[in-house]
Amino acid sequence: PTRTTPEYLDRLNPEQREAIETTEGPLLILAGAGTGKTRVLTTRFAHILLTGRARPFQILAVTFTNKAAREMRQRIGALLGEPVEGLWLGTFHALCARMLRRHAEYVGLTSAFTILDTDDQLRLIKQVMEPYRIDTKRWPPQGMLGVIQRWKDRGLTPERVTPAEDSDFGGGAARRIYEEYQTRLKAVNACDFGDLMLHMVEILRNQPDVLAQYHRLFRYILVDEYQDTNTIQYLWLRLLAKRDGYPSNIACVGDDDQSIYSWRGAEVENILRFEQDFPGARIVRLERNYRSTAQILAAAAGLIAHNDGRLGKTLRPGREDAEGEPVQVVGVWDSDEEARIVAGAVERLRADGHGLAEMAILMRAGFQTRPFEEQLMTRGIPYRVVGGLRFYERAEIRDCLAYLRVLAQPADDLAFERIINVPRRGMGTAAMQKLHLDARQHGVPLTGAVAAQLGAPGKGKTREALLGLMDAFARARETLAREGHVVAAEQLLEDAGYLQMWRDDRSPEAPGRLDNIRELLRALVDFATLEGFLEHVALVTEGEDAASEEKISLMTLHGAKGLEFDTVFLPGWEEGVFPSQRSLDEGGLKSLEEERRLAYVGLTRARKRATILHAARRRVYANWQDAIPSRFIEELPDAHVRHSGQSMQERRQLAAQPSVFAFGPLTAGRRAASSTAPRVTDVYQGTPTEIPVGARVFHQKFGYGVVTGVDVDRLQVNFEQTGEKRVMAGFVEQVS
Ligand code: ATP
Ligand code: MG
C-alpha cells in the first residue's frame, strides 16, 4: 500500500490506466483490435476488488463466449494471486440462466426448468403447428422457430408482437403459434435458449423488487465485445445498469470495426447510442496495438479503410521492437494445394521450434476445414477444430456417410439405423423393435427386413416413406453401376429426401450444413470407387491424439474473435468464398462491409505472421472453375504485402477468361461432368521433375516415402505406409 502505483498497473499506458481507474460512472472504451480492451476489462475487475470497492460477487462481467469467460476468470485469479469463487462472470445466456433459476416462478416456471435442445424445440413446434393445417412445404416448422428466435432476439414476447410485425409466415398464424408454443413450454416447465434472456428481461421489467435487488447487488458492470450485442441483450444490460439517483457504473468495451454478428441480430448502433443511454459517459480511446507487428497492422488498417460510416479510430503499433514481415499473399492452384502448402509451412515452423498452439488456420466457412484436416492428419500434426466438430464428426456428414455405407453395403445395420428415420419417416421405437425382431428371426440385415415388410400388403404414411427410401437405394445402385459413385451419391441424398430436409431447415446453421455436404461430395471425386472413399474416411477418422496438448487451431473467423496467435493462415480469399457468395448475392453494401470487417478481424488475430491464400481453381463437383482472388486482397496496401505463387497479373488474365467462378446450387450443373477447364493433371504433365532418386518425399494421399525411380514427370516411390507406388511428380513434395 506504500507504493503509489500498484504493480498490476505498472506496464499499462496512460489511457489504459485511465480506463481502469475511472471506476465510477458510465464508461465506453472504443478502440481497435489488439489495443488491450479485454486486458483493461480484466485488470479493471481486479482493480475494483483490490481497492475494496466491491466484493467478487458484486461485479457483473459479460463475455462473448464461454471460452473467454474461462480465460478472464483465470487472468483475474492470477492478478489476485488466488482463485475467486462466486463470480457473476459469463456469457449473456449463462448469466441469464443463473438468474432465471432464482425467479422462475414469475414467468410460470419452477427453478428446475429444463432448457430444450433444438430437436426438442422442433418436436414441440410441430405439435403446435399441426392443428393449423399449414402447408409445411412452404412454411416448414424450422422456419417458424427462426421467426420466433428473431422475435425473441428483439425482446418481443407474443403480446408485444404487433399485427404490423406479425410475420407472413403460415398465412398470418405466426403470432398465435408463437403464443401457443410459449404456453406449451411453460406447461412442461421448459424454456428454449432465447427464453433465458426474454424471460429475464420480462421479469426485470415487471418486478421492481427483483430489479432493485440486482441494483443493490451489482455495483459494477463490465461488458466485452459490446459492438455485437443484440436488442434483447442491450435491454437486459440497460435495465440492470440504470438505477435512479446513482451513477451507472457500467463499462463497455468494443470496436465498431469488429462488428460481425449482424446476421444474428447484433446492432452496432448500441455502441453509437451509449452516450445517449448513459448521459455523462466517459469515452476512452486506446490507440496502441500491442498484439501485431507494424506490417500486419498497416495491412489491416488499409483494408478496413475501405468501409464507409466508421467511427474512425487511430491504431498505432505499440511494440517498438516489432516491424515484422509483410503479410504474405500466396496464389495456389486449388484447395488441395492450398492445404498442402499450409501444412508444409506448419511443419517447417514446428521444426524451427514454434509451438502448434501459437498457430491457427482461420476460414470463412466451416466446410473449408476438410482438406486441412486431411493434410494435418496425414502428416500427424495434432489439431483441434475450435467451436465446432471435426469435419467427419459433423452430424450431417455422418448422416451422409451412413447413406453411402448402406449404398456400398446394404447389410450395414448400424448405418441403416442412423438414417432410416432421417429425414423423419414415422419410424417410432416400437416399429424399430419390430424391425430388429424380424431381422433376427429371419437372419437378414435390417434392409432385408424392411424389404420383407414392404413385400406384404399394407398401407400408411410410414410405409410410403420406407418405399421411397428403398427405391432411392435401388435407383442409386443402378446409377452407381452405370455412372459411378459421384453421381450416385448425390442422387441418393436427393431422392431419399435428405438434402431437401436441410433446404427446408430455416435455422441459421442449415446453409453451412449444406455447404459441408457439398464439400463431402466434392471429396468423393478424388477416389476411384465408393469403397475406396469409405475406407479412406474410416482411416482418417480413427486415432485421435487426445493426449497431446500442443495443437494447431482450425476455426471460423467468427469463432476467432478476441483471440490471438503468433501465426495465422487465412485460406480461401476468393470471390464467392470470401466475400461469401451469399453476401455478394444480397448485393447490399452492408453485407459486403460486414465481410470486410470479418477480414479485418482475421488479420488482426496475428501477432507475427499472417499468410493469406487464394486458389486459382475451386472444384465444383467434377468441374473445375476459375476463381477470382478476393477483392480484399487488392484492397491491402501494397507496401505491406508480399505476393508469391501466381502473380496478380496472371490472376487477372485468368479472371478475364469467360468461365467465371461461382458456387451453383447444390444440384446445378452436376451432370455436365466433362469440363473444358484444364485439370491438375493436364498442367503438370510432361514437365520433367527435378526430384532425384533417394529423395525423401511427401505425397498428399500416401504420406512419406523415398523415391526409387524417376521417369520424366512420374516417380516410383516406396511409401512408408503403403509400399511401392507410381505417382505424378506434381503431387509430391520433396522434404529432404
Ligand atoms: P480484440 O479487439 O482483438 O479483442 P483487445 O483490444 O481486447 O483485442 P487484448 O486481447 O486485451 O486486446 O490485448 C492484445 C494483446 O496486447 C494481449 O496479448 C495483451 O496482453 C497485450 N497488451 C495489452 N496492453 C498491453 C500493454 N500496455 N503492454 C504490453 N502488452 C499489452
Ligand atoms: Mg478483446
The rounded distance, in Å, linking the Cα atoms of 707 and 162 is: 73
- The full DSSP string for 225-251 is SGGG-BHHHHHHHHHHH--TTS---EE
Give pLDDT, residue 507: 78
pLDDT in tens, 70-96: 888 888 888 888 888 789 998 898 899
How many Cβ atoms are within 10 Å of 40's Cβ, its own excluded? 26
pLDDT in tens, 638-648: 999 999 875 54
The rounded distance, in Å, linking the Cα atoms of 3 and 275 is: 35
Please compute the mean of the pLDDT values over residues 523-549 and round it to a whole number.
71
pLDDT in tens, 164-190: 877 777 778 899 999 999 999 988 888
Answer yes or no: is 31 a known binding residue.
Answer: yes
409 exposure class (CB count in 10 Å sphere: 0-12, 13-18, 19+) = middle
Strands (E), 114-201: 114-115, 190-191
**Could you check whether the bond before residue 579 is cis, i.e. omega within 30 degrees of 0?**
yes
Give pLDDT, residue 225: 94
Q: Which residues contact 564 (CB under 8 A, 6 or more apart)?
A: 34, 291, 605, 606, 607
The rounded distance, in Å, linking the Cα atoms of 562 and 29 is: 15
CB distance 35 to ligand 1 below 6 Å? yes
Please compute the mean of the pLDDT values over residues 522-546 and round it to a whole number.
74
Please compute the mean of the pLDDT values over residues 291-306 and round it to a whole number.
94
CB distance 290 to ligand 1 below 6 Å? yes
**Residue 657: band (very low, low, confident or very high) from pLDDT cuts 50, 70, 90:** very low
Q: Which of 39, 284, 597 best tests ligand 1's pocket when mutated (most atoms within 8 Å of CB)?
A: 39
37 is catalytic: yes
Q: Model pTM?
A: 0.74
Q: Which ligand is nearest to the CA of 358?
A: 1
Q: Which ligand is nearest to the CA of 565?
A: 1
- Lowest mean pLDDT: which of 20-24, 317-321, 597-601? 317-321
Give phi and psi for 699, each to the nearest 5: -115, 140
Collapse the DSSP code of 333 into the 3-class scheme (helix H, G, I; strand E, B; otherwise coil) and give the result. coil
How many Cβ atoms are within 10 Å of 323's Cβ, its own excluded? 11
- Higher pLDDT: 166 or 40? It is 40
Q: How far is CA 701 from CA 5, 444, 535, 536, 571, in A?
A: 59, 37, 13, 9, 20
38 is catalytic: yes
Give pLDDT, residue 208: 95
Strands (E), 131-228: 190-191, 220-223
Q: Which of 20, 67, 271, 291 best tests ligand 1's pocket when mutated (most atoms within 8 Å of CB)?
A: 291
- Lowest mean pLDDT: which of 36-40, 208-212, 243-247? 243-247
605 is catalytic: yes
Q: How far is the CA of 222 from the centre of ligand 2 (A)?
A: 13
Q: How far is CA 487 from CA 58, 483, 524, 661, in A?
A: 61, 6, 10, 21
Is a pLDDT exceeding 90 seen at residue 294?
Answer: yes
Question: How does the average pLDDT of the chain come out, rounded?
Answer: 85
Q: How far is the CA of 8 from the centre of ligand 1 (A)?
A: 14
**Residue 119: band (very low, low, confident or very high) from pLDDT cuts 50, 70, 90:** low
611 is catalytic: no
Is a pLDDT exceeding 90 seen at residue 731?
Answer: no
Is a pLDDT exceeding 90 seen at residue 4?
Answer: no
Give pLDDT, residue 3: 53
Q: How far is CA 660 from CA 221, 574, 725, in A?
A: 51, 12, 37
The rounded distance, in Å, linking the Cα atoms of 1 and 4 is: 8
Answer yes or no: is 38 a known binding residue.
Answer: yes
Give pLDDT, residue 681: 27
**Residue 425: band (very low, low, confident or very high) from pLDDT cuts 50, 70, 90:** very high
Please compute the mean of the pLDDT values over residues 691-717 and round it to a whole number.
82
Question: Which residues have beta carbons under 5 A from ligand 2 (an ion)?
Answer: 37-38, 562
Share of the chain above pLDDT 90, in %: 50
Answer yes or no: is 33 a known binding residue.
Answer: yes
The rounded distance, in Å, linking the Cα atoms of 173 and 153 is: 20
Is a pLDDT exceeding 90 seen at residue 213?
Answer: yes
The rounded distance, in Å, linking the Cα atoms of 627 and 573 is: 10
Q: How far is CA 304 from CA 309, 318, 592, 603, in A?
A: 11, 19, 12, 11
From its phi and psi, is residue 322 left (phi > 0), alpha (psi between -120 and 50) or beta?
A: beta
Q: Which atom of ligand 1 is nearest to the CA of 16?
A: 27
Q: Could you tell me how far CA 506 lies from the centroid of its own chain?
A: 17
The catalytic position among 153, 192, 195, 225 is 225
Give pLDDT, residue 646: 56
Cell of 727: 505417382
